[in-house]
Amino acid sequence: MSSSFARREFLAGLAATAFLQGATEGEEVVPFLDSTPFNPARPNLPWEQTTNLITPAEHFFRVSHYGFPTVDLASWKLEVDGLVGKPRSFTLDELKKRPRREYVAALECSGNRPAGGLIGNAKWTGTPLAPILKECGIKPEGIEIVFFAADQGKEKIREAEYTQNFARSLSIADAMKDNVMLLYEANGQPLSSEHGAPVRLGVPGWYGIAWVKWLTRIEAQDRKYENRFMSRDYVTIRGEQRNGKMLWRETSVGKMNLKSVVARVTKGQSGGLRVAGAAWNDGAAIKSVEVKIDDGAWTAVPFKFDAKQPYAWQFWSFDWNDVKPGEHTLTSRATDVRGKVQPDPNDMSITQKKTYWEANQQAVRKIRI
């Protein structure tokens, strides 16, 4: 390796941890050369400051498509209608009286860069959606559930303008999964207005676009729902070679892709470095995480997937000793139990992707010692 990083020292110094350890006395954070300064006006996760499983509110990203609506919490109701036998409406108090569940899950924007900060990990609390849909009785012809939000804007469709509410849909099968919830708390506190108060959809393992904020209506339909955010925007265009010809595919952004990142490097008094990172997936177990220093070989780091929190990001770390002065690169890649491997930036699945959504290629981080 160009860093003179001996494999035996690497393996001997590996130390898996349950969280990204904060700097202890005498340690200092080594900044990445590719870091973007944190801007509190537009929150996003500063990886170098991340030391805990849960992302603090001031670092949790926020995205809106038609601005941030003002919702009257006192009069708010959630309507469930369309192709259901028993249409109903629910107040927030009524939802809170229903069975309460919580889970820790990562929420990532589908436009997040390979080592970007449009991601956060939170403990989400709410009530499962499936029992409500069963109580309302979806009619046999229903095939999709559409989730409408309070935010709205003008969309030009075939030379005319129409007022549209933000909306996304799920198939009946996806909407009926027991982890899809109507969320009203994050980290033990009521949702803030910027994060979808009073209720947002929770779809762990899916990109944030599916986690509809400011929910107002849930509707069962007998046909595939199409709008800007299902068929014109949040669409990934990717090329594939077939019989010597390029086949272009358009797919709607949905489930999260396997991803990992070198997140934090700290320097101790002894001169060695502690390198820490995170890995996450759509809920499928992550089998392993490997790290490459400079142009060296991939080496596995001790990593144990937490099956009790399959939708949360998972942390790993190792001690890097005998570090030589100069500029170095650190790259990580994850592999899941299905055999999927986080792709290299030069992989065809990345180079032939013509939209920036779902960027899960390996992130090459640079530091200078």
pLDDT at 26: 64
Dihedral in degrees, nearest 10, Cα atoms 55, 59, 60, 65: -170
Distance CA 323, CA 35 (A): 21
In this structure, is the dihedral angle defined by the CA atoms of residues 188, 189, 190 and 193, taken in order, positive or negative? negative
pLDDT average, residue stretch 277-290: 97
Which of 46-55, 117-126, 290-299 shows the lowest mean pLDDT across its residues? 46-55
- 27's CB contacts (< 8 A; 6+ apart) are 266, 267, 268, 269, 274
Three-state secondary structure string covering 147-200: EEEEEEEEEEECCEEEEEEEEEEEEHHHHCCCCCEEEEEECCEECCHHHCCCCE
In the 8-state DSSP scheme, what is residue 230?
I
- 334's CB contacts (< 8 A; 6+ apart) are 258, 259, 260, 279, 281, 286, 288, 289, 290, 341, 342
Q: What is the pLDDT of residues 316-340, one digit of tens each?
A: 999 998 889 999 999 999 999 999 9
Most confident of 34-38, 102-106, 346-350: 102-106
Angle at 344 between CA 342 and CA 349, to 5 degrees: 80
Confidence of residue 102 (pLDDT cuts 50, 70, 90): very high
- Distances in Å between the Cα of 36 and the Cα atoms of 60, 155, 212, 278, 338 are 16, 33, 28, 18, 34
Q: What is the domain partition of the chain in residue ranges? A: 7-50+254-368, 58-235
pLDDT at 11: 38
Q: Which two tokens stand for residue 83?
A: 């192709």
Q: What is the pLDDT of residues 134-180, one digit of tens each?
A: 999 999 999 999 999 999 999 999 899 999 999 999 999 999 999 99
- The amino acid at residue 193 is S
Per CATH, the number for 7-50+254-368 is: 2.60.40.650
Scan for tokens 């939209």, then name that residue.
355
Asked if residue 301 lies in contact with residue 309, where contact means CB atoms within 8 angstroms, the answer is no
* Radius of gyration for the chain, computed over Cα atoms and rounded to the nearest angstrom: 22
Distance CA 344, CA 329 (A): 14
Asked if residue 147 lies in contact with residue 168, where contact means CB atoms within 8 angstroms, the answer is yes
Q: What is the pLDDT of residues 48-57, one digit of tens each?
A: 988 899 999 9
* SS3 state at 122: strand
Q: Which two tokens stand for residue 275?
A: 């390198």
pLDDT at 321: 87
Pick the CATH number of 58-235 from 3.90.420.10, 3.30.2020.10, 3.40.50.300, 1.10.760.10: 3.90.420.10
Distance CA 214, CA 117 (A): 23
- Distances in Å between the Cα of 309 and the Cα atoms of 273, 305, 315 are 29, 9, 12
How many other CB atoms are found less than 10 A from the CB of residue 300?
13
pLDDT at 351: 95
24, pLDDT greater than 80: no
DSSP 67-118: ------TTT--EEEEESBSS-EEE-HHHHHTSPPEEEEEEEE-TT--TT-S-
- pLDDT > 70: percent of the chain: 93
Which of 37-41, 132-136, 249-253, 273-277 shows the lowest mean pLDDT across its residues? 37-41
